[in-house]
Structure 1
Amino acid sequence: MAYSEAWVTARARDAYEHGRASFDVRPERSALLVIDMQDEFTRPSWSPYWVPAATRMAPRLRQLVEECRAASVPVIWTIFDDTHLGLDRPHALRYLPHADTDWRRPGPAEVWAPMGYRADEALIRKPSYGAFYDTPLDTMLRNLGRDTVIVTGTLTNYCCGITARQAYERGYKVVFGADVTATDDESRQEPELAVLRKGFARVLTAEEITHQLIGRTSGTGNEDWANVT
């Protein structure tokens, strides 16, 4: 059979737009990763790295966190932080555009308080974008007996997307939250979801994730957080 250019292009486009990984999402095999929902990115007007879309989706993600807790799905949080005097960061980071700033956070990085992080949940302080890079995440997941990760947080096309790729490369089934991830330029959201959908993850909304985990739809997650700082 000869494959025409039009046929292979249409096939690729369909996978980007509609591709769906075939695995089920089982609560006893899953862990929720909440990536970098920290003050720098989510606290309104607090830093030059603020991601307004992350602030807007935070109530929906907080609802998913509660649903996962109710389903006994472990919640693992990450923070993009200064660790080991910066000696464990990729050397090239210092040359990239977003490193060119005089802003310094007042004190250690913390999860944005309205997200409801609990001290009895694991918190990883990571030195680079991906949550598996030079961290104990892989060991933690294997000790928990989890082979499926649900990736949420910010930024979609950096820390979240790279974490999804790293998980895929380590043999995990990856679920990626379509509406519980966010990035600083919202025009970049769908292109990243398309790549993940075709090659790395099962891309689902928060409601679809909850339905997979506990067989019912989630809450609206539309609480008014306009005045939360």
Structure 2
Amino acid sequence: MEYTEAWVEERARCGYEQGRATFDVRADRSALLVIDMQDEFVRPGWSPYWVPGATRMVPTLRRLIATCRARSVPVIWTVFDDTHLGLDRPHALRHLPHGEARWRRPGPAEVWPELGYRADEPLIRKPSYGAFYDTPLDTMLRNLSRDTVVITGTLTNYCCGTTARQAYERGYHVVFGSDVTATDDESRQEPELAVLRKGFASVLSAEEITERLAGARPDGGERPADHCSQ
């Protein structure tokens, strides 16, 4: 077979738009990561970093959190915070547009109260975008015997997407919530989901995640076929 330019372009496009991972999502092997749903990103009008889309998807995320708790899926929270006097933060951040902002939160980062964070659930204060960078997350997941992470929160194309890539590189199965993640420019949401869908994660809605955690499989119990690999 000769692989024409049109054929390889269409195959790539199919992967971005329709590619589907084939691993099972099991409640007893999964952990829910709630990434950076903190005041400055979720509390309306409180900071210049407010992500309106993150505020809007809180009810859906709360339902997924409740589902995970009911099925004994550990819920692990993160906040993007000033840790170790900033000495553990990547040095280059200060030279990038996002690092130039002058606004400073008045105290430690806190999960927005509407999310219902519980003190008996781990809260990781991380110094950079990815939740695995210079944190105990990998150790925690291994101690919990979890090999699948369900990623939710904000921002889709920064902290959530970076965490998905870091998890993939560490051998985890990655589930990425399509409607329980949000970013500051909504036109960036689907392009990030497309990249993750093709190369890093199973991209599912909160309803689909709930069904998988309950033991359901798509397509009448069959594993999803990858229509883009032909």
Residue aligning to 2:175: 175
Q: Give the AA of the match of 1:146.
A: R
- Provide the rounded CA distance (Å) in 1 between the counterparts of 2:175 and 2:13: 20
Q: Give the AA of the match of 1:18.
A: Q
Gapped runs of 5+ residues in structure 1? 217-229
Residue aligning to 1:76: 76
Matches within 5 A, 1:70-219: 70-215=70-215
Residue aligning to 1:221: none
- Provide the rounded CA distance (Å) in 2 between the counterparts of 1:167 and 1:114: 27
- Provide the rounded CA distance (Å) in 1 between the counterparts of 2:92 and 2:112: 28
- Provide the rounded CA distance (Å) in 2 between the counterparts of 1:104 and 1:87: 17
Residue aligning to 2:228: none
- Paired residues in the alignment total 216
4+ residue runs of structure 1 moved beyond 3 angstroms?
A: none
Matches within 5 A, 1:46-65: 46-65=46-65
Deviations 1:23-82 (A, max 9, x none): 010000000000000001000000000000000001100110000000000000000000
- Provide the rounded CA distance (Å) in 2 between the counterparts of 1:215 and 1:143: 23
Contact 2:39 2:46 in 1 (8 A): yes
DSSP 3-state at the match of 1:130: coil
Identity across matched positions, percent: 81
Deviations 1:141-178 (A, max 9, x none): 00000000000000000000000000000000000000
Matches within 5 A, 1:2-13: 2-13=2-13
Q: Give the AA of the match of 2:183.
A: T
Contact 2:26 2:215 in 1 (8 A): no
If the length of structure 2 is used for normalisation, what is the TM-score?
Answer: 0.93
Report how far residue 102 of structure 1 moved: 2.0
If the length of structure 1 is used for normalisation, what is the TM-score?
Answer: 0.93
Gapped runs of 5+ residues in structure 2? 217-230
Report how far residue 215 of structure 1 moved: 4.8
Residue aligning to 1:17: 17
DSSP 3-state at the match of 1:196: helix
DSSP 3-state at the match of 1:180: strand
DSSP 3-state at the match of 2:178: strand
**Pairwise CA RMSD:** 0.8
- Provide the rounded CA distance (Å) in 2 between the counterparts of 1:45 and 1:30: 34
Report how far residue 107 of structure 1 moved: 1.2
- Provide the rounded CA distance (Å) in 1 between the counterparts of 2:104 and 2:160: 23
Report how far residue 201 of structure 1 moved: 0.1
Report how far residue 99 of structure 1 moved: 1.7
- Provide the rounded CA distance (Å) in 1 between the counterparts of 2:127 and 2:211: 34
Q: Give the AA of the match of 1:139.
A: T
Instruction: Answer with 72-81 or 104-113: which moved more.
Output: 104-113
- Provide the rounded CA distance (Å) in 1 between the counterparts of 2:46 and 2:80: 16
- Provide the rounded CA distance (Å) in 2 between the counterparts of 1:99 and 1:162: 17
Report how far residue 101 of structure 1 moved: 2.0
Q: Give the AA of the match of 2:33.
A: L
- Provide the rounded CA distance (Å) in 2 between the counterparts of 1:185 and 1:127: 23
